[in-house]
Structure 1
């Protein structure tokens, strides 16, 4: 089981080792600060904890492990960027309540086909505590919501972009095969000098040459990549060609499994992609679609997550009392795409939705309200109006194109945003 943990400051076992009256007590080493990050710090104990977890996960994959001192800067950099996002969440009033966290843990166990007790036992076998796992999940949920507010909500895709995409060669291939990819990023800051660009390109060429000579991609990614997924061996998961920014959208189709692209200059730096696996390519697949409407309420700087949940529960009670769903959606829903239409999302492919929304929708009978539930976007109440199975209609094609374009823009914007908040932060490394 692949589990990532971040510990808060660990309690220290301080004291003297008393042997006898004639022997002086030995002084136990104190924890120390390895980085100051804006208004917070990262401790050596946090770094050691994360290093141990990363090395444990890497050991399960097999192969040689990078030296601990080579991994330490990478792990510390990941902790710094996570810490910045957690501080943003704290300032924005993002809170994860115990009830919501318990539901998330139950969902994780269920996805691994385990009961909660079996999940606890599996963590213990990996040398991990359930409490540490809960804390890590809580932090990842905070980070996810920070990203939704700061990145996802800035992304806009116009109807004309959708039509242009559908008319393009890539758009016509939207049901084509998918590619499981990994990347290595040699970073460049905005406004880098010509000398810095040349140095980054030399570094990228050196990494590419090592890969051509048989070096392990995952190990090089962990040791030298600045990408968000470096500690996962650079793996970014499954993507269609249309989800990749140019020129990778055209390059990936020509790759054989195991091959690596040449380094390509992008706004974030020089990137190489490796094709790990590919699948799919079938056309004319039957699609399950759901006609659903919802009311979305978002926590904000002036309304906490708990206050938002309470408002969602009150609206649920009003709907149960017979008030009109469409009218309440127009008055309260904070989903700009559906509020004006009474919360109606029309016919939608469940696979285009976040897992939390999809799971509640799947378990909701037609015509019955769901209880308020949480997704990364906020608190929802939904009602399933109907279900059907259909071919990939023009409407479904437009929705798929919209999702592909949003994902493409999100990946680009996320990397740029992470680099921006890192560059703008006060960071003092004492490693």
Structure 2
């Protein structure tokens, strides 16, 4: 991958130190319009495989005979796939071009979502889910690269559009999966499988984009790129702090997406309302994905934002413990605010390195290591729920993990760079 390809992570006005040479944008407007449509459609498909399952987790568990521990494993699969397959995206992009890999990723999402409802057992369901999530992993990593290559003069605007579409797809899948399932006769298999249609539509523009000149040039530039500094990134305290912060916020996000509807349903909230509550939580990222990175980029230390988001999460978890149904809408909003640690983490990755090469190394390390860190969380929640038959201990675990997340975020938000530490 070229040194500047991920330098746009968290791009926003402010004291970002790294620099890069922008590639030349396509001269004709229609390829850019096609890429805009492709970006929007791709982003809409990067979370429904996860949030649609969260809305129907009880029906899937009953239909496949899953216990709580296995269901916890299912909610950990996204983080595992993102860690394992996301790190392959740069190498694949160097060989085939980023647009070609995104196209293949969307094809994998389509196939996985279409096959998953047909699975007769747990192993087949997990395998099909892993196929879809592998496609999401490589596509997710390469979205900033696509923005950099095709829109070098509109990085901020296009990143905002992509982030909003991602949040919209996340919340929409949570909100409408149960009504769609009811409309299709109440079959959870049909309710999950319908999302393969949207993924198939999203793959269509990428077939043309992958054959275009800009994708071939991106492949050539990536093949000619030089590696970053030789010093191991594991020597950087900031890199470890970012990895821990990224991993813990991912833990909270995937526990929320996988288990929050079930928490509300067990408290007496209807399945459709529980799905809407999850949608509200996810929808908080739509406006805040624009605002938060811009605020963070203007601050020399992002710790204050980390603490604000963490305090929102702690309050939301306290509410889930004390009155899960009575204050459900308030807890959904607070946890949605807390989950906006994701765009904050990406912004800090971009600010903690001076050069494009440094951002690439820091992003790869923080995200891959962080996703590995996040795997045990949903598993523990499922195991505790299975062992105790209630949510007191799982919610206590979620709240307890918020404390080290805040500590790691404050350390990661200090005004220093990877290059200085190495």
Q: Would you say same fold, with TM above 0.5?
A: no
Bigger radius of gyration, 1 or 2? 1
- Which TM-score applies when normalising by structure 1? 0.24
> Which is bigger in relative contact order (C-alpha 8 A, separation at least 6)?
2
Bigger strand share: 1
Higher helix share: 2
| TM-score, normalisation: structure 2 | 0.25
